[in-house]
Structure 1
């Protein structure tokens, strides 16, 4: 135990702090689409200039500078549009700042193992907790060159961090790089341009509590009517009073529709965002709002009836149900998903697997136990050396998406979610649970055994000390006591209790003599209660026939 790290205690995962629903804007006219594009492009230009001003200010930005930016934008749009623009700019800059820090930490995680291995002699073997030297002079030379490259990148990233310089692309860096590879992406320049403009368009407004229907800029009535407050330069396009434009489309959120209608009827804040899907030729409206923190159940309550231990893998979820004592119940379950294809396809696969898992747990009223995974520092090339397949495996696991999806979906169904430390769960699960849980008709995988280990850790039971005994077969008799050489603990074959399985069944028929005094072939009716030497029953061990009456002399 000296070389093992301390395992953190399990905890109940809190629920989400906000929700978002989406609906399609159907039956839009050509004029409606043109107005949406004009408004979005105008606000896009304002957002780009505001982001440039925010990045130039750097960490020295304060509330006075924020107010000045808002005043500049108000003259070209409106006060509410200016508030939404500045807030979106501030959130985007903060996100870029956090990503910059994560990039620095990732570079540091790559530099450390290379520098350590270069300092060792070539061919020196490593230990269990530290890698050894490189295998050959050629590998040593290649890694020394890579070390210089990473150190240069790290120095540049640290200089940008200290200067407060961030690099942000409105519309996305991936779409921007696609411009240089149109043939590989099978896009024309005109098609790429439409996607680029749609990705940069700004049509989002924050909610305001106490205002009509919770949002004065993008207003949606409980009956689904959508109207937009036009910016000042585009006020001539209004088709409704007070400089508003009413769309011909109507929305009715199928998911959480009742919650949304209750909020807008009570004039509670709801944020909206309109965006265009160029590939499908559709427009969508997304509504979002904050919810009060969900009161998590105590850990003891979540453990009361047992739980489901879930092991997360690159292509499936391995789950096993456990009772409150940590014993596996029933058969293991596998919920597979395919992460090949587009992002929407991957997201749908993850949601489908999770909803099947949650419905299974809901059927028995059980909580879920999952690992608190975070592979941020384990995805570097230098973490696992030449193990390319393993690096590819952990890089393909949708850890962040699974974590966020599972937390929100479990809270919606009222299922407690327990997070445990992932240390040694796969290793100890395979070592102590894979073989005992296997049988002739069931092959227990390493991942299902890890699910048992995760569940036991969530229940507070040890993993390595809980090897279950081999199952006993009950034929109406209990097992002999420990000191079976004497009768001081009771009769060695005491009658089984009322709850013992198979208590009323007969003992198995074993061919051959049961004792040395009984020859083979006898005792065929040993299981028949009517064939025993009892009052009112016949016996098989003696042939009885009434003697004839004596004749009189």
Structure 2
């Protein structure tokens, strides 16, 4: 399966026009694109079909059909994203409401009526949010704010947000609604994109010839030529896609349209232009070249346990025995979005490079991290801050993308009871942290290792502290996770008690082997 990759660089030079004129042409394109997209969204929301509006929009705005298709595809993606988020938010609100109800009942049993009152207020707010979302879903209503809700709300507090008057805010609002546009590509078009044709210059850089809409030709001409485009990362991928498109053209000329469609030649290259404080950037998206897989789980596996402040890594041999374990810092709290992405990328790159050198696949958790975030209420403040700033989806996507580029398999397994199993079976035995032990369980799970309850039924729950547990009698054959679930329910209160005692945080002390007392 092919994976798309997106690469970016800054627009630095134009052919035959000054930098200011070239930037103005891109801004005019962005303004037109944004206006068409907002109008199309309004008409689609009113019940009209986007496809049926194509001919009307081509005449009304003087745009080519490929530009309309780019607007339509981009808008459909945004609408689909909002609809998916609606379902997720309804589920999340339901879980949060259930937790608030449990806390309210617990407070009532203790006679804490002030807390009960606050929990009821919180519950009413959540119920109102959920009812509004469900009403939107039933009506098929999608709410989109082009320019961002945050910027829209700033007009009501101009001085607090640094605006001298409403005109300043309005200028920024209009710029935000026209700061990007999308150019859709296709494998059967010239150089993979009809409206933005890339050619390779003598120095290896790219020249982009952007076809401007008819309504802008009088001011800026038919084409805007961007020179000296070189992607710091992924330039070779774009060059390979262009070469594949050239092969597609040659093969089609020699064998015909039907024959070339049956081949794997040709790659679509789509471009997105985005304006920021320094100027315009161009993003190119195309399928990445396939890299031979260099890992084999017959050598073993490398498990990775994802945590709010680090990655716990454990390597095993082919039999599931631990070989090496280490910790990769991953603190994203207090960082900007770009800083967090860089930190995540560096951490993932380190793990993938280690896996490539070892020739073993990476194993990560296959879980719904939204459920974990829904349990934020009731946790301590430090943990809530860390978890709310942690992007499990970004880490997962980074692992999959990096692994594909490096030829490293990235497998996902069910993490059920991995922390409990690691704590009971491997933490003390191999001198691992609880997270490294959980990573070891993930790696062993990929290899098909069974995790039976040990004979010695004690588990460390803190530095120098252990707790004994029992296992239900096996009256009938059940899955081993059934018994680990019983163990988890027994260890939970002990771990909570240790937390209430205020045990210091940090690396655990070496756990001493328990000695039998006569």
TM-score after normalising by structure 1: 0.70
Q: Which residue of structure 1 aligns with residue 71 of structure 2?
A: 85
Q: 1:184 to 1:398 in 2, by over 3 A?
A: farther
Q: 1:161 to 1:446 in 2, by over 3 A?
A: same
Structure with the larger helix share: 2
Q: Distance in 2 between matches of 1:462 and 1:413?
A: 30
Alignment of 1:156-171 (within 5 A): 156-171=132-147
2:217 equivalent to 1:235: yes
2:417 equivalent to 1:424: yes
Q: Distance in 2 between matches of 1:170 and 1:164?
A: 19
Pick aligned residue for 1:74 from 39, 58, 64: 58
CA contact (8 A) 1:307 1:369 kept: yes
Structure 1 alignment gaps of length 5 or more: 1-14, 124-133, 439-443, 469-553
CA contact (8 A) 1:23 1:284 kept: yes
Q: 1:177 to 1:362 in 2, by over 3 A?
A: farther
CA contact (8 A) 2:301 2:444 kept: no
Q: Distance in 2 between matches of 1:182 and 1:351?
A: 37
Deviations 1:253-298 (A, max 9, x none): 34332332232242532111111121xx13211111246999999x
Pick aligned residue for 1:454 from 442, 446, 452: 442
Q: Distance in 1 between matches of 2:7 and 2:125?
A: 45
Q: Distance in 2 between matches of 1:185 and 1:168?
A: 23
Q: 1:336 to 1:88 in 2, by over 3 A?
A: closer
Pick aligned residue for 1:206 from 166, 169, 184: 184
Q: Which residue of structure 2 aligns with residue 306 of structure 1?
A: 300
Q: Distance in 2 between matches of 1:121 and 1:32?
A: 64
Q: Distance in 2 between matches of 1:139 and 1:39?
A: 55
How far did residue 359 of structure 1 move?
0.9
CA contact (8 A) 1:310 1:454 kept: yes
How far did residue 466 of structure 1 move?
7.4
Q: Distance in 1 between matches of 2:83 and 2:448?
A: 39
Deviations 1:509-532 (A, max 9, x none): xxxxxxxxxxxxxxxxxxxxxxxx
User: How many aligned residue pairs are there?
Assistant: 423
Pick aligned residue for 1:259 from 237, 241, 245: 237
Q: Which residue of structure 2 aligns with residue 357 of structure 1?
A: 351
Deviations 1:159-192 (A, max 9, x none): 1111111110123334434555666666777489
Q: 1:454 to 1:177 in 2, by over 3 A?
A: farther
CA contact (8 A) 1:220 1:226 kept: yes
Deviations 1:242-262 (A, max 9, x none): x22223x32123433233223
Alignment of 1:126-525 (within 5 A): 136-180=112-156, 190=168, 193-194=171-172, 197-198=175-176, 200-223=178-201, 224-239=206-221, 243-247=222-226, 249-265=227-243, 266=245, 268=266, 269-278=268-277, 281-290=278-287, 302-380=296-374, 385=378, 387-438=380-431, 444-463=432-451, 465=453
Q: Distance in 1 between matches of 2:327 and 2:123?
A: 45
Moved more, 30-39 or 141-150: 141-150
Pick aligned residue for 1:26 from 3, 9, 12: 12
Alignment of 1:7-22 (within 5 A): 17-22=3-8
Q: 1:135 to 1:290 in 2, by over 3 A?
A: farther
CA contact (8 A) 1:54 1:90 kept: no
Q: Distance in 2 between matches of 1:110 and 1:164?
A: 24
CA contact (8 A) 1:426 1:447 kept: yes
Moved more, 179-188 or 142-151: 179-188
Q: Which residue of structure 1 aligns with residue 45 of structure 2?
A: 55
Deviations 1:475-524 (A, max 9, x none): xxxxxxxxxxxxxxxxxxxxxxxxxxxxxxxxxxxxxxxxxxxxxxxxxx
TM-score after normalising by structure 2: 0.74
Deviations 1:60-107 (A, max 9, x none): x5xxx2222222221211211111112212221121111122222222
Structure 2 alignment gaps of length 5 or more: 247-265, 457-518
CA contact (8 A) 1:198 1:275 kept: no
Q: Which residue of structure 1 aligns with residue 512 of structure 2?
A: none
CA contact (8 A) 1:69 1:86 kept: no
Q: Which residue of structure 2 aligns with residue 8 of structure 1?
A: none
Q: Distance in 2 between matches of 1:185 and 1:365?
A: 53
Q: 1:163 to 1:259 in 2, by over 3 A?
A: same
Q: 1:192 to 1:293 in 2, by over 3 A?
A: farther
Q: 1:434 to 1:195 in 2, by over 3 A?
A: farther
Q: Distance in 1 between matches of 2:159 and 2:339?
A: 23
SS at match of 1:435: helix
CA contact (8 A) 1:428 1:464 kept: no
SS at match of 1:21: strand
Q: Which residue of structure 2 aligns with residue 95 of structure 1?
A: 81
SS at match of 1:200: coil
